[in-house]
Structure 1
Amino acid sequence: MSGTSPHIQVIYEDNHVLVVDKPVNIPSQEDDSGDLDMLRLLKQDLKIRYDKPGNVYLGLVQRLDRPVGGVMVFAKTSKAASRLSDQVRTRVLHKEYVAVVHGLLPQQTQLKVTHSLLKDTSVNTVKVVPAGTEGAKVAVLDYMVLGVSDGFSLVKITLHTGRPHQIRVQMAALGCPLYGDQKYGASVNKPGQQIALWSTLLSFPHPVTKEQLVHRSYPPQEHPWRLWKPDIYKFETFPNK
């Protein structure tokens, strides 16, 4: 990518949709840190690349936690934003991730996990609570173990809901916190470790043409991802549910 954010790779772009490879440790949108976020970086880039006067429209359709990298979609028109947001709400937009978690899980086991999650906005943390707790929201994901190595498991995760910190909290609740997760796995992770969670796939109908789009991103070949051969990340996807 040219302009002010050359480190953000564009995966796909047309007049309605922008799909990029989000680097780690950049917020999806402006937060209390004041650091530049994906939305502002991409708006600046579009303004420069297309020499656009005035404000540039870009709609935030989905979010990735700040330490998480991988494929992410934005809307370049209000119509696309509305339709993509509907796809997220109705679970038509299909999201898959890979994560490295502590512990050796049974391989090739696909499981559906459901929890009730409650967010504490005062400290930006989420916890598992009993079903029916006031303010709690149901969180559902599928996971499959792709491999085990050196005391870790590599899991493929399909989200069926999009709750804050969902994967991190649910896997920690199973006794398998993510590698590097300081918030939900501080007892087994070291300060400074990069969280091993990657957005690997987005699949959705184009908001205007209705063509089914499938976009992928693969984690970097660094620890702990390199405990497995790169081909392991080029898996077949779960069916849409």
Structure 2
Amino acid sequence: MASKTLSHKNNLQVLYEDNHIIIVNKRAGDIVQGDKTGDKPLSDVVKEYIKDKYNKPGNVYLGTVHRLDRPTTGLVVFAKTSKALPRLNKLFVSKDIKKTYWAVVKKQPPKKADTLINWLKKNPKNNKSTAHNKEVKDSKKAILHYELLKALDNYFLLEVNLETGRHHQIRSQLSAIGCPIKGDLKYGFDRSNKDASIHLHAKHIEFVHPVKQEPISVSAPLPDDAIWKACSE
């Protein structure tokens, strides 16, 4: 039986859970997997949650299906079984998962709705992707669709649907049209957010359960701050 109640044990917000899958709402600053910082990753927190909840002895299996950038918030999907992991990976690769993001940007985009097609080239030295209008060496094609949902007092709320999943794709492509995300110094916003977050939220995900073959639709509550509250009013 799937559980959609929210759990805040270990500061973890669980949005969906069954025998094979767990979906959590990532906070700004959390890293999904361990990196050179040595900070405790979200994957370890989820493992602890599973171990505690089910009183599991020994090591807990958990497969990381995808990542969100550290300053980004929202939905992260993990596999709880070795059966589910390759099937979820296949869904992400074959684009059979619909991922919807909300982004708060500095300027009104040129069009109320548009499809952005760029070629992104990643620079490992500064961990940044540059959006090009035509293919360049070592670049990857990136496609997203956006729609202007709301004009705030000083910002604009966009809904973004990804067709591809490239490194820093939304951040880079929106910056390339003059719409850097609030707080995103790396991609052209003029000041950082106090908590080092950026106003990019993985809000909704839809896919067919890879084991049960049932449709899953999960939404992540917005972070608790004044800008996000204005977006949802």
Equivalent pair of 2:105/2:157 in contact (CA under 8 Å)? yes
CA spacing shift, 1:94–1:121, aligned 2, 3 Å: same
1:121 Cα deviation from its structure 2 partner = 1.5
1:166 Cα deviation from its structure 2 partner = 0.7
Work out the CA distance in 2 between the residues paired with 1:174 and 1:140. 14
Unaligned runs of 5+ residues in structure 2 are 1-6
Equivalent pair of 2:8/2:14 in contact (CA under 8 Å)? no
Pairing 1:80–2:64 present? no
1:2 Cα deviation from its structure 2 partner = 6.4
1:219 Cα deviation from its structure 2 partner = 1.3
Pairing 1:37–2:56 present? no
Counterpart selection for 1:166 from 166, 169, 182: 169
1:200 Cα deviation from its structure 2 partner = 0.6
Equivalent pair of 1:112/1:143 in contact (CA under 8 Å)? yes
Match of 1:18 in 2: 22
Pairing 1:53–2:57 present? yes
Listed as ranges, the matches of 1:36-185 within 5 Å are: 36-105=40-109, 109-129=112-132, 131-185=134-188
Counterpart selection for 2:220 from 214, 217, 241: 217
Work out the CA distance in 2 between the residues paired with 1:194 and 1:16. 30
Equivalent residue letter for 2:223: P
Equivalent pair of 1:126/1:169 in contact (CA under 8 Å)? yes
Alignment identity in percent?
37
Deviation sequence 1:63-94 (CA, Å, 0-9, x none): 11111111221111112110111010010011
What value does the CA root-mean-square deviation take over the aligned residues? 1.7
Work out the CA distance in 1 between the residues paired with 2:71 and 2:104. 14
TM-score for both structures, normalised by structure 1: 0.88
Work out the CA distance in 2 between the residues paired with 1:54 and 1:45. 14
The number of equivalent residue pairs is: 226
Match of 1:189 in 2: 191
1:110 Cα deviation from its structure 2 partner = 2.1
CA spacing shift, 1:77–1:185, aligned 2, 3 Å: same
1:221 Cα deviation from its structure 2 partner = 4.2
Equivalent residue letter for 2:101: Y
TM-score for both structures, normalised by structure 2: 0.91
Deviation sequence 1:11-47 (CA, Å, 0-9, x none): 1111101011111110111111111111111112212
1:117 Cα deviation from its structure 2 partner = 0.4
